[in-house]
């Protein structure tokens, strides 16, 4: 569980979440607005006024937890539905971002696998 690979994966995932989560409300990385169905979907989410800030704050919190190695198993479970939604959004609506979405899901899945001992009591 504490191998160098696991440590690197945890840090990379934590940094990605911290940067892209903070970007959801600080806007320091310019992002192209998606077009077509993806654009319509993003606009409707943005219209709610709360989805992107909440997801951004969650991503920042999860990223900090991963970077500080605090409650890692909990952080990974919190990230699971977010990462699945990122993957499904890019799979069905915005194919060009699919590689990045796959990277997040794969790293999250690997880290969940590496921490599986902590999840076993949930299934008894």
In this predicted model, what pLDDT tens digit does every residue of 31-80 receive, in sequence order?
888 889 999 999 999 999 999 999 999 999 999 999 999 999 999 999 99
Q: Under a CB-based contact definition with an 8 Å cutoff, are residues 86 and 79 in contact?
A: no
Q: What is the pLDDT of residue 1?
A: 57
Task: Tell me the domain boundaries of the chain.
Answer: 4-123
In this predicted model, what pLDDT tens digit does every residue of 75-110 receive, in sequence order?
999 999 999 999 999 999 999 989 999 999 999 999
């Amino acid at each position: 569980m504490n191998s160098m690979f696991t440590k690197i994966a945890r840090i990379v995932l934590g940094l990605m979440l911290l940067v892209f989560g903070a970007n959801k409300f600080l806007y320091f990385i310019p992002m192209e607005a998606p077009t077509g169905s993806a654009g319509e979907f993003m606009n409707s989410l943005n219209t709610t006024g709360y989805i992107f800030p909440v997801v951004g704050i969650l991503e920042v919190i999860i990223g900090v937890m991963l970077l500080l190695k605090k409650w890692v198993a909990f952080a990974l479970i919190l990230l699971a539905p977010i990462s699945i939604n990122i993957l499904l959004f890019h799979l069905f609506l915005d194919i060009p971002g699919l590689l990045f979405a796959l990277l997040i899901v794969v790293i999250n899945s690997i880290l969940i696998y590496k921490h599986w001992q902590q999840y076993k009591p949930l299934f008894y």
